[in-house]
Chains A and B, each alone.
Chain A
């Protein structure tokens, strides 16, 4: 609604193809279509301090990208900008060609972007299954009255979506937890549940904020496989922030390096690993795994 008044409002209805700056970075298989997520000159200032500046991205429909950078470089801020949690000071975000300007966080989610959080944010007093069902909330279409009076439509839909929720839980082999309170799950399972809840919203792009934080190498290995599995089977794009280099280098097709709110390098994992600027600014003396 507020976007009607926005100066960029004219753009919002029609998908617009914006020229991609670095088309070579989009995987070949995705080149025929418009980028599923595109940000142009995105930036935000917090009281005069520029937290993120001139951030550009164009993601193919089935691309897996990574964003790395030292702590405080602005990675999570970029996620918040892409999902409209923070209103950008500059620049545009297009999801599947539609401008997100003036949309609420929930509307942006419905436009096709889902995310997880660095510090886990589950609905801890609800069961695992209910957490996923909240994600399905917008796909479910029963009217309040249908639900309150328990008309037949309610039963049909509840049953259908409970099945779907269980199937979704199977991705990470979490069906056994369906009736457990999310807050009582082990840490790793909580991280996985966040991903599943995000998937339940039916996104075109999935943003993962440090999905491997606190996981051991074996779990990280498994997560890597699962990220690829999600991409392969659901045909969605995934953008992740991660400190674990083995994960980023192992799973991402494109990696961007962020420092002081700016992208200082962008390319394939091999390019990044050999980029002198990156080694200088970010990796320092540390050897890349």
Chain B
């Protein structure tokens, strides 16, 4: 019982962590709170549904296409909506992001209808036996995938040329440009990576909750954003820790029978953390030069 709850917490936390990573990366590089990020997950879930339930294609293809669709979507959104506003006031870009989110949600509602679609199971294996414990296979898979994805992301950011470019741009866009870094490519790359992670998150989410609906991205995205802020926005370990924290908090509150309050608890957690540590757990303080 206890282990099941821990595993549930880990599973939910992992999904939040994956989505939070996308928020953190985009924020780190162009200081944009990408409101549409959660809705990219919704797109991913619908693609899975389309591929499996409508076209009857195998789950592997669904996973690949979902991740690809999310990646494309992320880059496209940046090019169409955010890129023209690179030098605009922060507020304008933020509102644009809200507009994009609004657009995706209502677009999905228009195309697919307001009711939820059932996403078929990606795998027939539902439980695994481990030392006398019967554990949910999707949960274990989710945790493993998240660990692999986080490690891979860390390696990319730390070791590869594009990763270094990303860090340089996030440190100082102007200076990076002068050093010959192609800032636009780097930003697109960041959106691609972040959205790909969201795509993986979408698959894992659909695996856990087997449904897709137009507004699923909103709450998921908001909570993942809460996770990113909790951990300290801009920090990769922060996003993971924040995600797990939010996941565990929700599972814990549900376990003690207060599930109707779980959203309130998560948001309260955010407010408390921000009041105590305005930049989150791993966040760096950025002072405006006077």
Contact = CB atoms under 8 A, between A and B. Distances in A.
Check if A and B associate. yes
Interface of A: 76, 80, 85-86, 117
Interface of B: 290
Contacts of A85: 290
Contacts of A86: 290
B285 to A, nearest CB: 11
Contacts of B290: 76, 80, 85-86, 117
Nearest to B288: A85
5 contacts: A76-B290, A80-B290, A85-B290, A86-B290, A117-B290
Contacts of A76: 290
Question: B interface, by DSSP: helix, strand, loop or mixed?
Answer: loop
Nearest to B289: A119
The 5 closest A-B CB pairs, nearest first, are A85-B290, A80-B290, A117-B290, A76-B290, A86-B290
Nearest to A118: B290
A85 B289 CA distance: 10
Nearest to A76: B290
Contacts of A117: 290
B172 to A, nearest CB: 17
B279 to A, nearest CB: 15
A86 B290 CA distance: 9
A14 B80 CA distance: 62
A186 B81 CA distance: 34
A276 to B, nearest CB: 34
A261 to B, nearest CB: 17
Contacts of A80: 290
A86 B288 CA distance: 11
B286 to A, nearest CB: 13
A260 B59 CA distance: 65
Nearest to A46: B287
Nearest to A117: B290
B284 to A, nearest CB: 11
A19 B61 CA distance: 81
Nearest to A85: B290
B290 to A, nearest CB: 5
B151 to A, nearest CB: 30
A117 B290 CA distance: 8
A85 B290 CA distance: 8
B43 to A, nearest CB: 39
B161 to A, nearest CB: 29
B91 to A, nearest CB: 14
A80 B290 CA distance: 8
A287 to B, nearest CB: 33
A216 B290 CA distance: 25
